[in-house]
Amino acid sequence: MTFEGGEDGVLDDEAFTVRTRRLRELVAAERALGWATVELDRAESEVVHPRGWTPAVSAPDDVALGARTRVARSPDDAIVVLLEPFTEGRLAASLVRFGEGFVVEYVVVPGRDFGHAVDTVHRAGLVLSTEAAGPFGRQRLVVGGPAWGPHLILAAHDREPGSAYRAGTIEA
């Protein structure tokens, strides 16, 4: 699985790619992709299992996108977040616009480095939303694209050691 674009090309949007590349230049981080779906159980059985990904683990809601989440890992060790809308928010708009598929990229930094990463991103001129909760912990949406996405999120890996996510590794 590659992180250079979604299977349906949604993450290959030129403006999104420029913002993503800029964010990656500013902060050293792990990455995760978010797969939009209208039904988590079906997505797990039709997307996760046939591809040989690890079983998805329930994770906290992504408040910025208005989504329930589960996290899986691909055979090549990539993190995949399944997202199902629970409001008529950004994720629901993504599904209407693009259908199911990859519509989110999470750039994940250790929780202790999140404040520094936010300051660095602000100084570089990228605009971030207010802080909200997400599947890895605190997060901020990179603002500037259409409400329907694709979406870029700077996230803090805040999970305690021994929980579903191990600190510094985003392991599910």
Q: Which two tokens stand for residue 161?
A: 């050691």
Angle (CA) 154-127-82 rounded to 5° is 35
β-strand pairing of 30-36 with 151-157? unpaired
How many CA atoms lie less than 13 Å away from 121 in the CB half-sphere? 30
Query: What are residue 50's phi and psi, to 5 degrees?
Result: -65, -25
Each residue of 65-124: pLDDT tens digit?
A: 999 999 998 888 889 999 999 999 999 999 999 999 999 999 999 999 999 999 999 988
Tens of pLDDT, residues 31-74: 899 999 999 999 999 888 888 888 899 999 999 999 999 999 88
Higher pLDDT, 3 or 101: 101
Side chain identity at residue 107, one-letter code: V
- SS3 state of residue 168: coil
Q: Any idea where the domains of the chain sit in the sequence?
A: 10-157
CATH match of 10-157 with 3.10.180.10: yes
Q: Average the pLDDT over 6-16 and give the result.
A: 64
Distance CA 111, CA 159 (A): 8
Question: pLDDT digits over 138-159, tens only?
Answer: 999 999 888 898 999 999 997 6
Q: Are 133 and 113 in contact (CB under 8 A)?
A: no
Q: What is the pLDDT of residue 160?
A: 45
Q: Place 25 in a pLDDT band, splitting at 50, 70 and 90.
A: confident
pLDDT mean over 126-130: 93
- In one-letter notation, the amino acid at residue 41 is D
pLDDT at 62: 97
- pTM of structure: 0.84
Peptide bond into 150 cis (omega under 30): yes
User: What length is written for the chain?
Assistant: 172
Q: How far apart are CA 81 and CA 40, in angstroms?
A: 10
